[in-house]
Copies of this chain bind each other. A is one copy, B any other.
């Protein structure tokens, strides 16, 4: 393939008489099954060609080095790490730590876990991620939606109040399952699964989760003792109304003040992006202020509940607590898989968006392995599900982190906190934690995005609202499945109804475009249809019926009998045996009505199947054209000559 100059490009329509033999369709290419399978697997599982870094390396030692660097990214950036980078990472690490402590405690409460588990979860997993993670901006920590979802699922088999130990062990087991599952997804390169969580699904799910999480926090803000264990809107509102005599004004006022403060700091940041650190440290400030205030005014006597006693010390081992009892296994596996996919979807989407913004590397499958390993090791060391939470990662990015070292800083700060300061955080009032969650959740409701979806794509809007309403009114997993199901349904509809269109010729150019879209010319008696992709069992009947309809409408609108139908296959990327049979039937039916079918520009894969199934042999190579205009001209030619013959007969 060399370069050609555009002056070589000639007019190609001067030779109508022999254009049948002018531009030949390539019938000769036949790849072996091995080649095709290899290509299909590569496109399906390795579209980003991940091993390119060391595949092309000449020296064997260099190849091993690059291989290690590929699989363990820390070896890639640590050798060139320097003090300047560390200063940036230190600031970012300290900032996310100040967020990690209150968030860790709050989200652990969401999952009905002891607050310490939340703190433990910000120690080990960030260390693991720092070694294996490929993103430079990810800040590891627990996430609100998954915390609630995991609790909901495990609570169907164990009550966290009645048997807190068993409940805790099952949460560890769930985390273990999540870890194994995520690592496997990454190892087997099944990132494709996560692709099925669309932007619209995640948006709706996040919004719905934010609403139910805010509703849950009303318990803390109102200082109530009894509250619905269900999360749906109806149950929560009912529960508040029924127990309204429990509402205390003291925590309510505190809560409103804290939420207002936190929202105000965010407003400041929006006004001036340089103040990113204000909302980042605001939760810590809230916790400290609230704890001191409560301690001073003896808040416990005024209905202000506090977290309670917290032990000193680092993560204890928990590997011996993993519980694979068949009685609970179903719930554990279900929770593990659903939260596993969910936290991947969130974590990968976030990592990707910052990587794009900064043009830094990001590898979905490597991220899955890193997430999997951090949950696996987490489950051995008293941590529960962690991922890359949106808020924390955004703070990390804005604080100027350069590498995963920020996570190491976070881990060290958490270790120091656990070793020396943990008991102090026991004085944190619950209402402060609730205010932190509410404020975080308010930031996740992107109604302007939903309006955008409504304007651009109604089906995307429906997918989004299915997740939102499903989460609010039914449950989190139902909402999620519903939305993903609609997305898959839409994909299937694309395949079942592949949008063919009728083509006409652009004036003065030998090119064809959609008749609906452009002012193009058509030839009487010749119908040109572009088929959508793929032609497949799920649409082979549709394609047939649609073509029959084109013929009918063409004949009724122009009054000319259609004698040739030309199918442009340029856009058809795949075909299967049912569809080939369908084309065969179409040719038969049309043949009986005196209509000839021509095919233009079948692609490689399609041509291979048409040849091997003897379809080409059956209908003849002369029915295939490389250039649409050639096919149209040839049809016109036979049309005219048959008319001429008819006329000649009439004259005789």
Q: Give me the interface of A with B, judged by CB distance under 8 Å.
A: 1-4, 6, 8-13, 16, 23, 26, 29, 33, 37, 43-44, 47-49, 52, 191-192, 195-196, 198-200, 352-353, 356-357, 359, 364, 452-453, 455-460, 487-488, 490-499, 501, 504-511, 513-518, 520-524, 530, 532-534, 536-542, 545-546, 548-549, 552, 570-574, 576-578, 580-581, 585, 588-589, 592-593, 601, 603-605, 607, 609, 612-613, 626-627, 629, 633, 636
- Residues of B near A508 (CB, < 8 A) are 8-10, 12
A196 and B549 contacting across the interface, CB-CB below 8 Å: no
A198 and B4 contacting across the interface, CB-CB below 8 Å: no
**Residue of chain B at shortest CB distance from A493:** B44
Q: A9-B13, A513-B601, A533-B533 are in contact. Are A498 and B573 (CB under 8 A)?
A: yes
B532 and A533 contacting across the interface, CB-CB below 8 Å: yes
- Residues of B near A511 (CB, < 8 A) are 511, 627
Cβ-defined partner of A495 (8 Å) among B47, B353, B494, B607: B494
B538 and A196 contacting across the interface, CB-CB below 8 Å: yes
**Residue of chain B at shortest CB distance from A501:** B603
- Residues of B near A455 (CB, < 8 A) are 612-613
B4 and A505 contacting across the interface, CB-CB below 8 Å: yes
Q: Could you tell me the distance between the alpha carbons of A534 and B521 in the complex, rounded to whole angstroms?
A: 27
Looking at the assembled complex, report how far the CB atom of A135 sits from the nearest CB atom of chain B, in whole angstroms.
15
B549 and A491 contacting across the interface, CB-CB below 8 Å: no
Q: Could you tell me the distance between the alpha carbons of A315 and B356 in the complex, rounded to whole angstroms?
A: 72
- Residues of B near A196 (CB, < 8 A) are 492, 496, 537-538
Looking at the assembled complex, report how far the CB atom of A584 sits from the nearest CB atom of chain B, in whole angstroms.
9
A576 and B457 contacting across the interface, CB-CB below 8 Å: yes
Cβ-defined partner of A516 (8 Å) among B530, B545, B604, B636: B604
- Residues of B near A52 (CB, < 8 A) are 552
B609 and A456 contacting across the interface, CB-CB below 8 Å: yes
A538 and B506 contacting across the interface, CB-CB below 8 Å: no
A509 and B627 contacting across the interface, CB-CB below 8 Å: yes
**Residue of chain B at shortest CB distance from A198:** B537
Q: Could you tell me the distance between the alpha carbons of A457 and B33 in the complex, rounded to whole angstroms?
A: 10
Q: A460-B577, A509-B9, A577-B457 are in contact. Are A494 and B536 (CB under 8 A)?
A: yes
Cβ-defined partner of A496 (8 Å) among B12, B192, B578: B192
Q: Could you tell me the distance between the alpha carbons of A604 and B502 in the complex, rounded to whole angstroms?
A: 12
Pick 29 A–B contacts, CB within 8 A, sort by A.
A2-B521, A8-B507, A8-B508, A26-B517, A29-B516, A44-B493, A47-B497, A52-B552, A191-B541, A192-B496, A195-B538, A195-B542, A196-B496, A199-B537, A200-B577, A353-B585, A356-B585, A359-B589, A457-B577, A457-B609, A460-B576, A495-B495, A499-B573, A514-B603, A514-B604, A517-B607, A532-B533, A533-B573, A570-B570
